[in-house]
Structure 1
Amino acid sequence: MTHVTPFSNPFLLGFETVEKTLQRIGKADDAYPAYNIERLHKNDDVNHIRITLAVAGFKVNNLNILLDDNQLIIHGKQTNNHNRQYLYHGIAARQFQRTFVLAEGMHVTNAELKNGLLSINLHQPKLKKQIKQIPIKVRSRES
């Protein structure tokens, strides 16, 4: 039996990488860290987005933000302090990786860490619609 996906439609050409990306992100279903995504209205330009992650306890040198093609990857790593003697250890030092797929042309404008919240600002410029006429070559019959 053949596995049928929405991208197996014969009219959707070249979307194999999108399908693989969606499958990979679908597997990353961890709810940590919590995050918000908000649309910012700057000067009537609605193409500004902010992703805010709750990263309390992380220092800036424990966080890493990468942009790999159209994937925004945020990675955080804390280290346990083994020199401390805890009476109760309820706050886990854990690492995380959160991935967001960005639309074509979207770019990161800046990122800041303030009060345990990591904010990443994104902008997507309006893409110009391109209509291109494709010439048709006529070939003569060859014997």
Structure 2
Amino acid sequence: MNAVDLTPLYRSTIGFDRLASILDHALSTEPTTNGYPPYNIESNNENSYAISLAVAGFSEDEIDIQVEKSVLIIKGEKSNSEEKKYLYQGIANRTFERKFSLADYVEVTGAEMANGLLRINLVKEIPEAMKPKTIVINRSDNVLEHDTKTKSHSKADKAA
């Protein structure tokens, strides 16, 4: 596998250390996922998101949602309490695991399940200390001001 050199990126950026680990993780692990279960990622507004997963056939007890090191992990494990004999099984009830990398300050606020869809709500809450602020340039009282009119009059007075 070809390694990606991020050195030029680091020459003009500060504090993007996590970007390298995200790119490395995306390029090195999970070459292709099987696409199960299908999902949507929605942007509700500037700081609110939702992930919807199609989990038909699973109950709330069979789904585990965790956040670990800025990674949202959703696991589904079907309990085999009753063995059924299927003539045809078109609904996939297999074990799954989906991972989503979360940006800084994105928090999971809740989850709900209805009509075979699991919806996980997320919100981006930037702390006050991290929000943009305007820096006022204070005027110093020690600045020397030159009055050009006074100098020209004094030169005329000296010449006379």
Interval of TM-score (by shorter of Structure 1 and Structure 2): 0.7 to 0.9
Specify the structure having the higher radius of gyration (Cα).
Answer: 2
Q: Does the aligned pair in 1 maintain the 2:63–2:76 contact within 8 Å?
A: yes
- Output the CA distance in 2 between the equivalents of 1:54 and 1:107: 21
Moved more, 75-84 or 108-117: 75-84
State the AA in 2 paired with 1:68.
E
What's the RMSD between the two structures over aligned residues? 2.7
Partner residue, 2:91: 91
State the AA in 2 paired with 1:32.
Y
Normalized per residue, the structure richer in strand is: 1
Quick one: structure 1 residues 76 and 58, their matched pair in 2 at CA, closer, same or farther if it must change by over 3 Å?
A: same
Partner residue, 2:141: none
Displacement of 1:93 in angstroms is: 2.2
Partner residue, 1:107: 107
Alignment of 1:74-85 (within 5 A): 74-80=74-80, 83-85=83-85
- Output the CA distance in 2 between the equivalents of 1:85 and 1:30: 25
State the AA in 1 paired with 2:6.
F
Q: What does the per-residue CA deviation read over 1:80-105, in whole Å, with 9 as the maximum and x for residues that have no partner?
A: 45632333333332111111111101
Unaligned stretches of 5+ residues in structure 2: 135-160
Partner residue, 1:14: 17
Identity of aligned residues (%): 35
State the AA in 1 paired with 2:102.
L
Q: What does the per-residue CA deviation read over 1:80-138, in whole Å, with 9 as the maximum and x for residues that have no partner?
A: 4563233333333211111111110110010111111000000002442489xxxxxxx
Q: TM-score, normalised to structure 2's length? A: 0.66
Unaligned stretches of 5+ residues in structure 1: 132-143
Normalized per residue, the structure richer in helix is: 2
